[in-house]
């Protein structure tokens, strides 16, 4: 059966276990606030007001956009901590659905985990969708769109975008690896051992090729089946049998690259419980989301397809929207960004890894 939204009244402390550093066990209280009103069902209403959001590459936006971006996060961070639209609560959403805070409905002993399986891409698409709408509504600008951190672009996108690296701004996070300020080049291998720029860039192209181009089926790319009763409690970022190549590969690599090795769990970006406390998380996932589309539409062998299993399509999640209403969404409604009024600017550098020859 498909995964359903958990009972929010039944929430336990979430745990976080170090994968890379010394043994450490921490718990986090990241339970979501209970809804004040009835849960709404997301629908694509006919005649709904449609405002197109164009997500741009972070390294190409102009000063006015950067100012607006910072303003949006400043406003979000200024909301009271118990407001589900506040930055702290937005970050807790990620913690709550990754680290055992909730049990699956229908399998009361199994915790809910939205990583390591076919739920990864649709859940994160919805997460960004609502996060972006909250930012837009705080700004009073319905066209406001997130940026994407174009780390796969080995011509000019493969560094931390400069505006995220600027100290004392609302999109800065001090819990990052001090060694990854621009102009350090990103490493798209989880355990990268290369040293020269040329080697790192070549390896990055190869990682993209392996994670995206060669992963031709939804099992390989998106991940395997996760249904009621599937227990991933023993999966880790370094060993996730159902995880797709894209999640396990280049996506995880950016998390590890960005998080600070001076904290036991590579906080913030290096561990689920704190990753989205870093505003760059949402730009990272903008690119993850963009690349899901590139995988579907731009691969050499032609169109690729998502899972069609009803347990995938009918999986349901809940998120708070820009009016602090709890909204129930389905995985199947996340499969087409066009319907969600989201587009990405075109990146010609995609061709470099699409046409890579190992
Ligand atoms: Cu929920 Cu990039 O992880």
Token pair in block for residue 75: 């406003």
Distance between CA atoms of residues 316 and 329, nearest Å = 6
Q: Can you tell me whether residue 74 is helix, strand or coil?
A: helix
Closest atom, ligand 1, to C-alpha of 120: 1
Residues with CB under 6 A from ligand 1: 94, 115, 124, 251, 255, 275, 285
Cis ω for the linkage preceding 216 (within 30 of 0) = no
Q: Report yes or no: 244 and 120 within 8 Å, Cβ to Cβ.
A: yes
For the chain, the first-to-last Cα distance in angstroms comes to 40
Cβ-proximal residues to 262 (8 Å cutoff; 6+ apart), any chain? none
Give nearest CA residue, ligand 1 atom 3. 272
Strand-pair partners of 40: 327
Closest atom, ligand 1, to C-alpha of 115: 1
| Alpha-carbon dihedral sign for residues 115, 321, 88, 171 | positive
Q: Report yes or no: 56 and 144 within 8 Å, Cβ to Cβ.
A: no
Q: Could you tell me the pTM of the whole model?
A: 0.97
- Residue 272 annotated to the active site: yes
Q: In whole angstroms, how large is the CA radius of gyration of the chain?
A: 19
Question: Dmax over Cα atoms in the chain, in whole Å?
Answer: 56
- Residue 285 annotated to the active site: yes
Q: Can you tell me whether residue 20 is helix, strand or coil?
A: coil
- Residue 115 annotated to the active site: yes
- pLDDT at site 20: 58
- Residue 251 annotated to the active site: yes
- pLDDT at site 36: 93
Distance between CA atoms of residues 103 and 111, nearest Å = 4
At 94, which helix (H) or strand (E)?
helix 87-96
Q: 186 CA to middle of ligand 1, Å?
A: 17
- pLDDT at site 135: 98
Closest atom, ligand 1, to C-alpha of 255: 2
Distance between CA atoms of residues 240 and 234, nearest Å = 8
What domains lie within the chain, and their CATH numbers?
A: 14-354 (1.10.1280.10)
Cis ω for the linkage preceding 272 (within 30 of 0) = no
| Alpha-carbon dihedral sign for residues 273, 121, 165, 264 | positive
Closest atom, ligand 1, to C-alpha of 114: 1
Q: What are phi and psi of 90, to 5 degrees?
A: -60, -40
Cβ-proximal residues to 132 (8 Å cutoff; 6+ apart), any chain? 53, 144, 145, 146, 282
At 268, which helix (H) or strand (E)?
none
- pLDDT at site 184: 97
Q: 63 CA to middle of ligand 1, Å?
A: 28
The complex scores an ipTM of 0.99
What are the pLDDT tens digits along the chain (358 aa)? 999 999 999 999 988 876 655 567 788 899 999 999 999 999 999 888 899 999 999 999 999 999 999 999 999 999 999 999 999 999 999 999 988 899 999 998 999 999 999 999 999 999 999 999 999 999 999 999 999 999 999 999 999 999 999 999 999 999 999 999 999 999 999 888 899 999 999 999 999 999 999 999 999 999 999 999 999 988 888 889 999 999 999 999 999 999 998 888 889 999 888 999 999 999 999 999 999 999 999 999 999 999 999 999 999 999 999 999 999 999 999 999 999 999 999 999 999 999 999 8
Q: 13 CA to middle of ligand 1, Å?
A: 19
DSSP 31: P
Q: 272 CA to middle of ligand 1, Å?
A: 7
Of the candidates 97, 130, 246, 251, the residue annotated as catalytic is 251
CA 286 from chain centre, in angstroms, equals 7
Distance between CA atoms of residues 262 and 63, nearest Å = 32
Cβ-proximal residues to 278 (8 Å cutoff; 6+ apart), any chain? 173, 175, 176, 258, 268, 269
């Amino acid at each position: 059966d498909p995964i359903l939204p958990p009972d929010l009244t039944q929430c336990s402390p979430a745990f976080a276990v170090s994968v890379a550093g010394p043994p450490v066990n921490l718990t986090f209280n990241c339970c979501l606030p209970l809804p004040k009103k009835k849960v709404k069902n997301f629908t694509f209403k006919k005649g709904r007001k449609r405002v197109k959001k164009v997500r741009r590459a972070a390294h190409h936006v102009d000063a006015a956009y950067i100012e607006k971006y910072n303003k949006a996060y400043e406003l979000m961070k200024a909301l009271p901590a118990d407001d589900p639209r506040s930055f702290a609560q937005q970050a807790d959403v990620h913690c709550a659905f990754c680290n055992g805070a909730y049990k699956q409905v229908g399998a009361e002993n199994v915790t809910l985990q939205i990583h390591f399986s076919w739920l990864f891409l649709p859940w994160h698409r919805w997460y960004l969708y609502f996060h972006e709408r909250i930012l837009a509504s705080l700004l009073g600008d319905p066209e406001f769109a997130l940026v994407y951190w174009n780390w796969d672009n080995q011509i000019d996108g493969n560094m931390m975008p400069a505006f995220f690296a600027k100290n004392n701004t609302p999109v800065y996070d001090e819990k990052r690896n001090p060694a990854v300020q621009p102009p350090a080049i990103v490493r798209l291998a989880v355990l990268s051992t290369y040293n020269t720029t040329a080697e790192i860039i070549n390896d990055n192209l190869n990682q993209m090729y392996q994670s995206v181009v060669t992963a031709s089926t939804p099992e390989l790319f998106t991940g395997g089946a996760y249904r009621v009763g599937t227990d991933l409690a023993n999966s880790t970022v370094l060993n996730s049998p159902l995880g797709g190549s894209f999640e396990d590969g280049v996506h995880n690599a950016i998390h590890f690259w960005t998080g600070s090795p001076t904290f036991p769990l590579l906080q913030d970006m290096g561990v689920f419980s704190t990753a989205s406390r870093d505003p760059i998380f949402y730009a990272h996932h903008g690119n993850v989301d963009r690349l899901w589309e590139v995988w579907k539409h731009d691969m050499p062998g032609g169109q690729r397809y998502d899972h069609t299993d009803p347990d995938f399509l009918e999986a349901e999640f809940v998120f708070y929207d820009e009016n602090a209403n709890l909204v129930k969404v389905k995985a199947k409604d996340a499969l087409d960004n066009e319907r969600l009024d989201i587009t990405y600017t075109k990146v010609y550098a995609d061709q470099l890894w699409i046409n890579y020859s190992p």
